[in-house]
Amino acid sequence: MRKKKVMLLCTLIFCCILSACGQKKEEKSEKPRPAAELPEKEPDIDKKNPVKKDTDKTEDKKKEDKKDVKTAPKAEKPKEKPEAERLIQEQTFDTELIPLGNVTFASYLPDTSQMPYGDAEFKVSQNQQVIAVLSGMNQSNTRKEETFHKVEAVSFPDYNQDGYDDIIIICSYLPDDRTKGVYSEARLYYGSAEGRFTLDIGLSEQVNADVMEKTIQNILDFLYQDTDYAEIPQTDEPDDSQADTAWKQAFADYIHNTYGQGGVAGYQLIYVNDDDIPELAVIGNCEAAGCRIVTYANGQTYEKHLRRTNFTYIERENLLCNSDGVMDGYYDLVYCIIDGQMTLIAEGNYGAEDNSSLQVDENGNLIYKYYWNGVEMTEEDYNSALNEVYDMSKAAQGYETGAYYTVEEILAELENN
């Protein structure tokens, strides 16, 4: 009986072992389901904004990328150059212009950073205030297919003989077509009783067409031989008996009318041209007051205010030279009497570009730059050009300290002359 129970128990244990082995085999034989048969995972949906979260992330990424992209900085427009940097020192003058009086005429380079084809600019100032800006050759003050090169010369003659000073300017230009080379162009401005300067386009064009070598002297020669501009109506000349006394009375009236203004040390009578009427030299009592030359013609007096006091003249050869300067800036201004008035016919300037930092050569001589009628040259050529117009060996001194008449003496001299 006991053997039967043991055998039954062994049989049950064996059956359990077989059953467990069968289950393992079935689990191993089950193949994995294909990926296509796996259930699709639903995307996460924002209930308020039915857009896929992946899309939101993409948009955010784009925004971040945009933030990272740096835009190139905009090119800044070049700053306008100050006038002081564009000032042409050798073509800037302190002078007297009728009817304005003492003024500063300033020449400026064009600001090519703003206008590559810009032209030079010219201004007249008085008491540090700009009172006139000369108009350009066209409304925009620019050139066409050429660039500004240099201001060659500036002069202030009364070229139309109306009693008011005018302005002649010569500039040179460099064409884009380099085979043509640099050329010069003149512009003429006529003055008025109101102190305005107007560009004479017609006369400027005529001068540029007919005067081949453009210098101040050549332009004046052209103007004075052209009857359209030289024949100015004049008053009737008094007869000889009247002429003998008219100029004396005119000078006496001038002295009485101006003596009270001050600034006068004395007077001289000099003979500049070859007629029988002398010129009245009014000597200033200081360098700043300068000297004045008073001429008589056509029944009236004309006055030319010289710079500072020093001047010489070649007696009866119709030439006078105002030579003076200060602070390493000097000049020689040559005048002659045309139609009764002192007229500038040639000018020279020389000196240091910067008198605060003077340079010397190997011999210890100061290094100056020399310009005759606006053209730079050597000192030797400058002196030669001056002597061609004005022979210094013939010159008589016009200003000498103490060598002049008092007001009472000059009036007596006029009476007895």
Per-residue pLDDT, averaged over 191-209, amounts to: 91
Please report the pLDDT score of residue 225 as a whole number: 76
Using alpha carbons, select from 212, 243, 214, 234 the residue that is nearest to residue 338: 234
Q: Is the pLDDT of residue 6 over 50?
A: yes
Give the range among 86-100, 175-189, 235-249, 251-265 with minimum mean pLDDT.
235-249
Q: What is the pLDDT of residues 331-354, one digit of tens each?
A: 999 999 998 899 999 999 999 887
Using alpha carbons, select from 114, 120, 109 the residue that is nearest to residue 79: 114
DSSP 255: H
pTM: 0.47
Q: Is the pLDDT of residue 115 over 70?
A: yes
Q: What is the pLDDT of residues 276-301, one digit of tens each?
A: 999 999 999 888 888 999 999 988 89
Q: Is the pLDDT of residue 26 over 70?
A: no
Neighbouring residues of 352: CB distance < 8 A, sequence distance ≥ 6: 328, 329, 358, 359, 366, 367, 368, 369
- Please state whether the peptide bond connecting residue 50 to the residue before it is cis, i.e. omega within 30 degrees of 0: no
Backbone angles phi, psi at 171, to 5 degrees: -120, 155
Please report the pLDDT score of residue 70 as a whole number: 56
DSSP state string for 73-109: PPPPPPPPPPHHHHB-GGG-EEEEETTTEEEEEEEE-
Confidence class for position 398, pLDDT limits 50, 70, 90: very high
Decide: 252 and 411 in contact? Cβ < 8 Å. Answer: yes
Q: Give the other-Cβ count within 10 Å of 300's Cβ.
A: 13
Per-residue pLDDT, averaged over 295-315, amounts to: 92
**How would you class 365 by CB atoms within 10 Å of its CB: exposed for 0-12, middle for 13-18, buried for 19 or more?**
exposed
Using alpha carbons, select from 123, 131, 169 the residue that is nearest to residue 148: 169
Domain boundaries, the chain: 83-230, 240-416
Q: Is the pLDDT of residue 67 over 80?
A: no
Cα separation, 249 vs 255, whole angstroms: 10
Cα separation, 332 vs 344, whole angstroms: 11
Q: Is the pLDDT of residue 319 over 70?
A: yes
Per-residue pLDDT, averaged over 69-96, amounts to: 77
Decide: 292 and 304 in contact? Cβ < 8 Å. Answer: yes
Residues 287, 122, 219, 372, Cα dihedral to 10°: 50
Average pLDDT, the chain: 81
Q: What is the pLDDT of residues 225-273, one digit of tens each?
A: 744 443 444 434 444 444 567 999 999 999 988 876 678 899 999 999 9
Counting Cα atoms < 13 Å in the Cβ hemisphere of 121 gives 18
Q: Where are the alpha helices (DSSP H) in 168-326?
A: 201-210, 216-225, 227-230, 240-258
Backbone angles phi, psi at 330, to 5 degrees: -130, 165
